[in-house]
Amino acid sequence: MNFLQLTGTQLNALGNWSVSDTYILVLMGRVHIRLDQKRFPSGNLSEYIDGDWNYRISSFHVKIDATHEVTVNTVKIPVTNAETGKQFFKNKKIKTIDDWSDYLYFKFVGGGVWQPIWGYAKFASQTGGKVTNTHKADLPDSYWGDLMAYGRNFIGTLTKATKTDQGMAHGPIQASRVNLFNQL
């Protein structure tokens, strides 16, 4: 499997980043870049080499938060007084959050080349802190434009940070035809 090896110093040059489980999250305004890590032969996701932490990146996702809507409704909850047995109503606020995000997935194919592979959209809704609805769908090709522009911008930033040539392969592969949702 191909990968790009980055140092902590190079990640600092990308901007605000944090490590989470098997990926690194880079915040770039309303866009998030998720860098998927590949393990070192030792099994670790990072290794301290020549005075700096090193990470192996095999792919990245560009994420745009298309919508983030929060609504708060007040509902009346019946409550019974334990001493008197009388019932009364208490107001309770319930928050609902609806998120719709668009993603474009890029795979490192070697030699500084990143191939756009697959676009998908994800909807998630939660009410009162519990997930109530989720939905994923392939992103139509017509929606790829902004995501490709953000991906190209990130690859340019990556070129400056690593001081190596990085570029985007021409023509996306429609990997969504092979049902990649099973791998999310």
Provide the residue ranges of all domains of the chain, joining segments of one domain with +.
Answer: 4-176
pLDDT of residue 1: 64
pLDDT of residue 89: 86
Contact (Cβ atoms closer than 8 angstroms) between residue 53 and residue 8? yes
Helix (H) or strand (E) holding 7: strand 4-7
pLDDT of residue 52: 97
Side chain identity, residue 136: K
Please give the chain's pLDDT, 184 residues, in tens: 699 999 999 999 998 999 988 999 999 888 899 999 999 999 999 999 999 999 999 999 999 887 778 888 888 888 898 889 889 888 888 888 888 888 899 999 988 999 988 888 888 888 888 888 888 888 877 778 888 899 999 999 999 999 999 988 876 555 444 444 454 4
Rounded-to-10 torsion of CA 163, 147, 106, 122: 140
pLDDT of residue 157: 93
pLDDT of residue 45: 96
- The answer to pTM > 0.85 is no
- Report the alpha-carbon distance of residue 142 to residue 59 in Å, rounded: 22
Backbone angles phi, psi at 43, to 5 degrees: 95, -10
- Report the alpha-carbon distance of residue 92 to residue 71 in Å, rounded: 14
